Amino acid sequence: MATLQKKMAAMIPSLREELKELAQKVGDKKISDVTVAQAYGGMRGVKGMICDTSVVYPDKGLVIRGIPIMELRERYPEEIFYLLCTGELPDKAALKALQKEFAERSTVPKYVWNVLEAMPKDSHPMAMLDTGILVMQKESEFKKAYDKGMKKTDYWQPMLEDSLNLLAKLPGIAAGVYRLRFKKGNRIAYKKDLDWGANYARMLGITDKTGIFTKLIRLYLTLHCDHEGGNVSANTCHTVGSALSDAYYAVSAGLNGLAGPLHGLANQECLNWILETMKKFKGVPTDEQIRNYAWETLNSGKVIPGYGHAVLRVTDPRFSAFLAFGKEYLPDSPVFQTVAKVYDVVPKVLEEHGKAKNPWPNVDAGSGALLYHFGLKEFPYYTVLFSVSRAMGMLAQLVLNRAMGTAITRPKSVSTEWVKQNVK
């Protein structure tokens, strides 16, 4: 099988042809209606954009290019990036070539560290990560080629270059943020003969004699890679990218959205909630104690982090994958035991509460507990891990959208006055 670049070059012309035919055949057909409630309600359920990298089914969760995420959980995250971009998993040679690309492009420019070191010591790790990405914008191959002048049909190529450069450097930047922000000592260099995920685990500097932490990081990177095109981070990245902003602008914008407590930050909030429960009840709480604490949270007007979803209506398979990992490798961890118990109790509480359309856990409900067990206890950092993974999906979507010549995003807004006048 060909390298990622060659594979994409071979598939793009036929994809364009397919799209052209589809637009001619069904371009004027309707795929969605929008109610007033949806216009005020975050456009939930409105079909208004295309994303070919993944689909989230309400009743079975994330499917990447036709493959359910549970079937991919043993794969290297690099394989998933190749899959997201091309629709096929790489063979051994293509995987090796991609890992080599990442190793060769992994050096983080010195000025990134100068900027991050100048930030306030109490900056949020997400603000540091996003700054680290944005400050590298001047490296953009897309920007350079665009300024020189290039054909529209070639846009995807420097976009893929930017994507590979950014992905290669992300574990180094993210691990550097961890070591700097939490005073863990010197940065650790990328080891060129190790895979991308193992490098991230190693550069964090967490002791890992058994290799299980490395497995967890690879799993973490695989599970969080993509979740359709309409979620806050993907949608923001897409919108910014649709103005032909380069990958550095678009991905940092998307990740700023991931930093919100209703989105990627939920994993830090979720572990916080689990630890508060344990602190309050001095250890692994009983079912009754969890039930009471869940009600206390709801009655104080807060959400239970890690539960509910805008699209899913079942237990998130990514949560199930983490649960299976925890059961296999750390069944005796009190934090993990609490997560498992919360899963037995909270859905029933949310059902009784009667508000959340989905009472089941999402990906963020369990991941933090596993990281905590291995000594990665700085939970404001967890969304950074999420970001390194989610960058794969955002970048694959950006490259494909450049290849397909997707138009600049510009939906029509209406005013409340317009609704009053026109909707009877």
Catalytic residue numbers?
A: 263, 309, 364
DSSP category for residue 109: P
CB contact set of 282 (below 8 Å; sequence gap of 6+): none
- Could you say which of 16, 329, 356, 377 contacts ligand HAX (CB under 6 A)? 356
Residue 355 binding ligand HAX, by CB under 6 A: yes
Total interface residues for ligand HAX by CB under 6 A: 22
Residue 305 binding ligand HAX, by CB under 6 A: yes
Q: Which two tokens stand for residue 73?
A: 């959980």
Span of 148-156, 190-198, 259-267, 398-406 interacting with ligand HAX by CB under 6 A:
259-267
What is the rounded distance in angstroms from the CA atom of residue 54 to the CA atom of residue 65? 5
Span of 120-128, 144-152, 194-202, 301-309 interacting with ligand HAX by CB under 6 A:
301-309
Q: Which two tokens stand for residue 129?
A: 């990560």
What is the rounded distance in angstroms from the CA atom of residue 368 to the CA atom of residue 171? 18
Beta bridge partners of 64: 54, 67
Residue 354 beta carbon to ligand HAX: minimum distance, rounded to whole angstroms: 9
3-state secondary structure (DSSP) of residue 307: strand
Instruction: Give the phi and the psi of residue 56 in degrees, each rounded to 5.
Output: -110, 115
E strand residue ranges, 61-170: 61-64, 67-68
Of residues 13 and 41, the one with the C-beta less far from ligand HAX: 41
Residue 308 binding ligand HAX, by CB under 6 A: yes
**Region for 320 from its dihedrals, namely left if φ exceeds 0, alpha if ψ lies in -120 to 50, beta otherwise:** alpha
> Using an 8 Å Cβ cutoff, are 54 and 228 in contact?
yes
Residue 363 beta carbon to ligand HAX: minimum distance, rounded to whole angstroms: 6
Of residues 363 and 385, the one with the C-beta less far from ligand HAX: 363
Chain centroid offset of residue 16 CA: 27
Burial class of residue 137 (count of CB atoms within 10 Å of its CB; 0-12, 13-18, 19+) = middle
Of residues 298 and 321, the one with the C-beta less far from ligand HAX: 298
Residue 45 beta carbon to ligand HAX: minimum distance, rounded to whole angstroms: 9
- Could you say which of 49, 51, 266, 388 contacts ligand HAX (CB under 6 A)? 266
Residue 46 binding ligand HAX, by CB under 6 A: no
Of residues 40 and 418, the one with the C-beta less far from ligand HAX: 40
- Could you say which of 15, 67, 244, 303 contacts ligand HAX (CB under 6 A)? 303
Among candidate residues 385, 387, 397, 389, the one with its CA nearest the CA of residue 130: 387
> Using an 8 Å Cβ cutoff, are 290 and 300 in contact?
no
Residue 309 binding ligand HAX, by CB under 6 A: yes
> Using an 8 Å Cβ cutoff, are 319 and 362 in contact?
yes
* Contact map string, positions 212 to 251, toward ligand HAX, x by CB under 6 A: -------------------x--------------------
Residue 233 beta carbon to ligand HAX: minimum distance, rounded to whole angstroms: 8
Residue 202 binding ligand HAX, by CB under 6 A: no
Span of 276-284, 319-327, 354-362, 416-424 interacting with ligand HAX by CB under 6 A:
354-362
- Could you say which of 357, 405, 414, 419 contacts ligand HAX (CB under 6 A)? 357
Instruction: Give the phi and the psi of residue 147 in degrees, each rounded to 5.
Output: -65, -35
Of residues 197 and 254, the one with the C-beta less far from ligand HAX: 254
Of residues 95 and 237, the one with the C-beta less far from ligand HAX: 237
Residue 150 binding ligand HAX, by CB under 6 A: no
> Using an 8 Å Cβ cutoff, are 20 and 359 in contact?
no
What is the rounded distance in angstroms from the CA atom of residue 112 to the CA atom of residue 340? 40
Of residues 88 and 296, the one with the C-beta less far from ligand HAX: 296
What is the rounded distance in angstroms from the CA atom of residue 317 to the CA atom of residue 315? 6
> Using an 8 Å Cβ cutoff, are 373 and 335 in contact?
yes
Residue 308 beta carbon to ligand HAX: minimum distance, rounded to whole angstroms: 2
Q: Which residues bind ligand HAX (CB under 6 A)?
A: 44, 231, 262-264, 266, 298, 303-310, 355-358, 362-364
